[in-house]
Structure 1
Amino acid sequence: MNILIKNGYVIDPKSNLEGYYDILIKDGMIWKVSKNLATENVHYITANRVIDASGKYVMPGFIDLHVHLREPGYEYKEDILSGSRAAAAGGFTTICAMPNTNPPMDCEEIIKAVIDKAKDAFVNVLPVGAITLGQEGKEISDIPALVKAGAIAISEDGKSVMNSDLYAVALKQAARLGIPVFAHCEDKALSKDGVINEGDKAKKLGLPGISNSVEDIIVARDIILAKETGAKLHLCHCSTEGSTYMLKIAKELGINVTGETCPHYFTLSDSDIPGDDSNYKMNPPLRSRKDVEAIKNALKNDILDIIATDHAPHSEEEKSRPMKNAPFGIVGLETAFSVTWTELVTTGIISCRQLVEKMSVNPAKILGIEKGCIGEGLTADVVIVDPETEYVIDKNKFLSKGKNTPFHGKKVKGRVLYTIVSGYIKYELN
């Protein structure tokens, strides 16, 4: 399929391209990028589809390092097909599937099964292998076999490997294999049965709290171990002021560590929780306003490298329970761009270029994949957005099976219009 995108404002930090360009996509690849293709004797290329992107932004497809597709085992919450469809609707062209499935992605057979199922997905799906067998924290998985089968990284997401000696061995193996380690930082002994952030709101609602130290202690440990082992450490869903401070110091010391946060952590605080509403329950929890400002500053100053979603769908029945009994997690694939554009770009906290870096360029770099760029000769993974469109988020219109979001009814600006994956239009706003 040949697609001609005309008159769009292209933002491509990796190739240092910004301005009005035409893009010709041929046979799944970026064939030509030019100021005006009509004058460059390419008329012999017949486009099956012409997209007039006047007034629109054209960017490399977004890449999400942190997605829970729930398959195998929890397909009633989400599956690879439905999750990838939601990803395409959100402008994502590549997503990383986290390993806390049932059974966990702790062996090559499951990794291969996910990859095989993902052949029919709407976007590129890259599986992340579990660090320990059964994610029980007792015995390391066969990490080389996971990587050979196609795992792009390893993680114990949903929990931390609390045995530091065991974890250090895994980090050393990851370093030798050249893959990143995605770290969920949670001291389980401290978090106990916590539900929301430890603070005034927890007291008001009579709910057990989760302190900042639950995250900060493991962030510190993991950074120290990364320094000693030489592993490429990526800190997932950073939510505290302390984690951003330690990440800054680690980078200044030359430690190979990066960090991500999610839209809910720079948009909402625990004071925004309206009551015992499980759509506001996630792990780590929504923190204080001081933490929210620290997260924003870390994004502005490029201390935090990535904006991910931690897309965690659950059934309506599960999320209708009281907070004490409901599972952690919210969906995010279909709201991430609009919330980020509204909260960070239109307010001047980060530039549009930084958004592309944090949602496309930097994730590709961490994964070591040739994406995150609209360069000639590269695979055509492209998103076209309208920066001016305003709309109200409606969970009932989500393509994900999960409707669990705190952003239902929120008015946002900026909308995904087209998502192109390997040269094919996988999403188009009707």
Structure 2
Amino acid sequence: MTISLRIAGGRVTTPSGTIDADVLVDGERIAGLVSREFEVDAAEIVDATGKNVLPGMIDVHVHTREPGYEHKEDITTTTEQAAVGGVTTIFGMPNLQPPTTTAQTLDEVLAMYAEKSIVDYNHNPAATQPDEIVPMAERGIRAYKVYMVVDTGRTYPHPAGTGMHDHGDLLRMMDQIKATGKRFIIHPHDQALMDYIEKQYLDRGENTPQGYAQAYAERSGVIWDTAIDVVIRLAEASGCPVHIAHMQTKRSIEAVRRAKANGIDVTCEVNHWAPFLSTWNDVETLGPYALSYWVPDEGREAVWQGMRDGTIDMCSSDHAPHTREEKEIGWTQMWSSHTGTPGIQYYYPLLLDAVTKGQLTIERVAQLVAQAPADKFGLAASKGALEVGRDADIVIADLNAPWTIRNDGVLSRVGWTPYDGRTINAAITASYVRGRAVSIGGTVVGTPGQGRMALAR
């Protein structure tokens, strides 16, 4: 017997713990976790001595910007970043042009992925047209998405056709989605409260990064907390599995913790900016380049605790690239700036850096980035863990390799990262998708079209 690949000498993180083992890959799947002494012929042997071998990240919240906004990013540039960042599966988001709201637009987007993606993929269409819910489910999607928000002063990143904040409409959509067995991803936001709060800031002339940051965190994050309370209650009333994006307040995390204890099928995520890019110093020094959102210390502490204790199920990047021109206006007109930050290239390394600092265990990171996304989005038969029979989506990482993130290493089309100048201790040295290398030594070796749609098996 000859296997295609042996990853030898590493510390392998499995659902049962981290062990000294070699990983055997036969074709696209993991064929064994064996001792160093186990003898088998291998077409290729990769030396992982002194390194950690981990499951590839499943990032369920990625903005590829294609179609419609390719001046920011496209599917190929997104998945190049994914490859070097240890992300082996992405779920794209629907805020495109045209927005993904019908089976036809979904088919068009999936065809683009098939042609251009380097890593495996799925897509979260917007659940705003009731007649399209079942036809979109039939395409093999794992989830739907909706934004409970209407942009003020701009038309992006939450374009028309992707939003819904009427409670009756949300409940009606949950009833329909429940019948498909899919999960409903919701960007929480209390629009009525935000209209009132924003007007106060704008009337005072505080159209600045500091004003914007304070408005969205106003009154201990009331716009997030009330929206999440509504989502949880409607999930309980409908029985629809929901997934809450952008967790960032203490009260919201406590609400999710109680909901889970009460048996409500609610999952949630934390995005890269909450633990790593949300301090007041970030707002003042980076301005629009740090927003996304400001997370006050109380919220950030709750985020870290939720990541550790399992209240927060998973880490998803919310990769959201915008050009420098679209950001620069924010220094004086923040409500006109496109909010969001690129993050897919560096989230997994930042989490592994947190392991070196004692903030998380390596087993918990594997759960956050791979096991939980696979379990909660119906991919556990094929992805999410280093176990025999699952896809060989594998990352090799060196947790003793200090390096400094620089703009000149950014693969995003926008050419910048809010982490420019930050030194971390962990580096991803190789990534494999279904047994084929997509990055080696920080260089992309995968090719567009190599990715495949991630489906339940």
TM-score with structure 2 length normalisation? 0.85
* Counterpart residue number, 1:326: 337
* Counterpart residue number, 1:155: 145
**Whole-Å Cα distance in 1 between the matches of residues 87 and 427 of structure 2?**
13
* Counterpart residue number, 2:238: 229
Picking from 268, 288, 307, the partner of 2:315 is 307
Question: Sequence identity, in percent?
Answer: 27
Picking from 123, 144, 149, the partner of 2:134 is 144
Distance 1:203 1:131, change over 3 A: closer
**Whole-Å Cα distance in 1 between the matches of residues 328 and 50 of structure 2?**
41
**Whole-Å Cα distance in 2 between the matches of residues 248 and 298 of structure 1?**
9
Which amino acid in the other structure matches residue 307 of structure 2? L
* Counterpart residue number, 1:85: 80
Distance 1:257 1:400, change over 3 A: same
Which amino acid in the other structure matches residue 294 of structure 1? A
Distance 1:252 1:275, change over 3 A: same
* Counterpart residue number, 1:171: 174
Which amino acid in the other structure matches residue 218 of structure 1? A
Q: Write the mapping of 1:280-319 to structure 2, written as runs, cut at 5 A.
A: 280-282=290-292, 285-319=293-327
Distance 1:205 1:53, change over 3 A: closer
Q: Larger deviation: 213-222 or 142-151?
A: 142-151
1:289-334 deviations in Å (ceiling 9; x for gaps)? 1111111111111111111110001122212222412100001111
1:405 Cα deviation from its structure 2 partner: 3.1
Picking from 79, 100, 107, the partner of 1:105 is 100
1:160-179 deviations in Å (ceiling 9; x for gaps)? 52111111111111111110
1:56 Cα deviation from its structure 2 partner: 0.6
Cα pair 1:281 1:330 within 8 Å, conserved: yes
Picking from 360, 384, 397, the partner of 1:350 is 360
Query: SS of 1:420's equivalent?
Result: strand
1:367 is aligned to 2:369: no
1:150 Cα deviation from its structure 2 partner: 3.0
**Whole-Å Cα distance in 2 between the matches of residues 376 and 205 of structure 1?**
49
**Whole-Å Cα distance in 2 between the matches of residues 158 and 63 of structure 1?**
24
**Whole-Å Cα distance in 2 between the matches of residues 141 and 103 of structure 1?**
18
1:214 is aligned to 2:223: yes
1:224-264 deviations in Å (ceiling 9; x for gaps)? 00001111111111111111010111111111111111232
Cα pair 1:57 1:386 within 8 Å, conserved: yes
* Counterpart residue number, 1:39: 38
**Whole-Å Cα distance in 2 between the matches of residues 379 and 417 of structure 1?**
19
1:116 Cα deviation from its structure 2 partner: 1.7
Cα pair 1:260 1:305 within 8 Å, conserved: yes
Q: Larger deviation: 252-261 or 111-120?
A: 111-120
Picking from 10, 13, 21, the partner of 2:12 is 10
**Whole-Å Cα distance in 2 between the matches of residues 141 and 429 of structure 1?**
47
1:404 Cα deviation from its structure 2 partner: 4.6
Q: Larger deviation: 353-362 or 152-161?
A: 152-161
Which amino acid in the other structure matches residue 153 of structure 1? A
1:272 Cα deviation from its structure 2 partner: 3.0
**Whole-Å Cα distance in 2 between the matches of residues 60 and 54 of structure 1?**
17
Cα pair 2:395 2:432 within 8 Å, conserved: yes
Cα pair 1:280 1:405 within 8 Å, conserved: no
* Counterpart residue number, 2:433: 421
1:121-147 deviations in Å (ceiling 9; x for gaps)? 1111101010114xxxxxx35111111
Structure 1 gaps of 5+ residues are 134-139
1:84-126 deviations in Å (ceiling 9; x for gaps)? 1111111011111011111111111221122222123111110
Query: SS of 1:142's equivalent?
Result: helix
Cα pair 2:210 2:283 within 8 Å, conserved: no
1:205 Cα deviation from its structure 2 partner: 6.4
**Whole-Å Cα distance in 2 between the matches of residues 271 and 390 of structure 1?**
24
* RMSD between superposed Cα atoms in Å: 2.2
Picking from 98, 123, 127, the partner of 1:127 is 123
1:158 Cα deviation from its structure 2 partner: 7.5
* Counterpart residue number, 1:76: 71
Picking from 251, 255, 258, the partner of 1:246 is 255
Cα pair 1:56 1:384 within 8 Å, conserved: yes
- Runs of 4 or more consecutive aligned structure 1 residues displaced over 4 Å after TM superposition: 202-206
1:204 Cα deviation from its structure 2 partner: 9.1
Which amino acid in the other structure matches residue 102 of structure 1? Q
Which amino acid in the other structure matches residue 328 of structure 2? S
Query: SS of 1:245's equivalent?
Result: helix
Cα pair 2:210 2:284 within 8 Å, conserved: no
Distance 1:111 1:206, change over 3 A: closer
1:347 Cα deviation from its structure 2 partner: 2.9
* Counterpart residue number, 1:137: none
The alignment covers a number of residue pairs equal to 410
**Whole-Å Cα distance in 2 between the matches of residues 289 and 231 of structure 1?**
33
Structure 2 gaps of 5+ residues are 150-162, 443-457
